[in-house]
Amino acid sequence: MFVLENRVQPYAWGTAHAIPELLGTAPDGRPQAELWIGAHPAAPSTAVPAAGGPARPLDEVVAADPAGALGPHRRRDRLGFLLKVLSAGAPLSLQAHPDRATAQRRHAEEEAAGVPLDAPHRLYRDDEHKPELLYALEPFAAMAGFRPPAAARELLAGLDLPQLPPAAAGLLAGLLADLAGTDESAALRAATARLLRAGEEAAAPLAGAVATACRDVDDDSARCVVLLAEHHPGDAGVLVSTLLNQVRLAPGEALYLPAGNVHAYLSGTGVELMASSDNVLRGGLTPKHVDVPELLRVLDFRVLPPPLLAPHRPSGRETVFAPADVDDFALTVLDARPGESTAWERPVPRSLLCLQGEVRVASTAGEVVLTRGRSAFATAAEHPLTVTGAGTLVAATPGGA
């Protein structure tokens, strides 16, 4: 087994205190948005052998012995998931992720076209999909997936808006007409395309007027509009938010975002688990590169309920979040109790993070003791694992574990 030293990503939307508090370090005044625990080549964890030996990047550990690290059922010779702690103090970008077939095709096209991997306009940096789940450690807010267009139309039509400039008035009239369509998916596709393709002359004054009017509305969607307008005034994404589900997670709840799900995290801290990919298609609410045509091609415009992920509980100590439609990852939350032990026998790789207390993880090759904020990696070859102690441990594995 390996004790991990992990890198923090200082994205501007991060909070300054949540990740340092987890790690037991002093805040440095800068945002600390994501703690990456895994083998993604952009920021691999440093793996220190528990039994002693030189430290190496975790991606090098996996590459040196893929069969031993990943087990016999690996799809590729690299770790297929990435565990993170994410802490949002400001809204993230409006975004979605492609399915695997799209990622493979478009990645090959950009490679053939010679688009540098580090180019700001590069869309497909790898050939994988990027489904993800978020397990809330505190109250967590997001917008995710499309709600019925009639609900968005009711909000917008009911606002007390001032006299709008001609371009903005035309945009609003077209939007309300789109949302009145009888085919809900077609209505949402038309409305989303209209908003994201609108020029600043139309979108900015309409977004500003809608945000001002929403201050007097007691509604989650209206409050989201106001929040987004404070951070991204005039952005068309402010208006797109009226089309989306508002999601509020209590601590211990999770949401799941499959391919094509349009979303943006708004606030809160949680454990995020995803396929190990860098493919993000953005439509707004960000200074980063936006590609509206590509985003519209991958979006799922079906009306769906808020994407909460129901857990299953194989024991009184374990809660498992495992999406049914992908096998890239599953997240187990283990409440270790004094005098009891938990055995994990399936020979798969596991990224482990202690959220509180102290837990001991013993394998065929040794053991590690993890306290709050400390993490480890167990290879498939070291199983079974036995967990004892008193605390909360999260474990990321391939699906089916």
3-state secondary structure string, 7-33? EEECCCCEECCHHHHHHCCCCCCCCEC
- Looking at the fold, whether 230 and 162 belong to one and the same domain comes out as yes
**CATH number of the structural domain spanning residue 376:** 2.60.120.10
Does some domain include residue 333? yes
Strand partners, 344: 385
- Looking at the fold, whether 54 and 123 belong to one and the same domain comes out as yes
Does some domain include residue 41? yes
Does some domain include residue 273? yes
Amino acid at 359: V
DSSP letter, residue 134: E
- Looking at the fold, whether 233 and 85 belong to one and the same domain comes out as no
The contacts of residue 49 (CB under 8 Å, 6+ apart) are 1, 2, 3, 55
Does some domain include residue 221? yes
- Looking at the fold, whether 10 and 135 belong to one and the same domain comes out as yes
- Looking at the fold, whether 99 and 59 belong to one and the same domain comes out as yes
- Looking at the fold, whether 169 and 278 belong to one and the same domain comes out as no
Does some domain include residue 31? yes
Does some domain include residue 306? no
Residue 364 binned pLDDT confidence (cut-offs 50, 70, 90)? confident
* Rg of the chain in Å (alpha carbons): 22
Per-residue pLDDT reduced to its tens digit, 251-280: 999 999 999 999 999 999 999 999 999 899
- Looking at the fold, whether 15 and 161 belong to one and the same domain comes out as no
Check whether the bond before 384 is cis (ω within 30° of 0): yes
Residue 72 binned pLDDT confidence (cut-offs 50, 70, 90)? confident
Reference 158, options 242, 40, 277; nearest CA is 242
- Looking at the fold, whether 356 and 227 belong to one and the same domain comes out as no
The per-residue DSSP string of 349-386 comes to -EEEEEEEEEEEEEETTEEEEEETT-EEEE-GGG--EE
Reference 191, options 128, 283, 72, 101; nearest CA is 283
- Looking at the fold, whether 19 and 107 belong to one and the same domain comes out as yes
DSSP letter, residue 320: E
Q: Which of 216, 244, 272 is the last residue of a domain?
A: 244
Does some domain include residue 284? yes
- Looking at the fold, whether 234 and 269 belong to one and the same domain comes out as no
Domain of 352, in residue numbers: 318-397
- Looking at the fold, whether 371 and 330 belong to one and the same domain comes out as yes
Per-residue pLDDT reduced to its tens digit, 155-165: 999 999 999 99
The count of domains in the chain is 3
φ/ψ of 362, rounded to 5, equals -110, 140
pLDDT at 76: 84
Residues serving a catalytic function are 282
How much of the chain exceeds pLDDT 90, in percent?
A: 95
Residue 401 binned pLDDT confidence (cut-offs 50, 70, 90)? low
- Looking at the fold, whether 198 and 135 belong to one and the same domain comes out as no
State the average pLDDT over residues 302-318: 94
Does some domain include residue 302? no
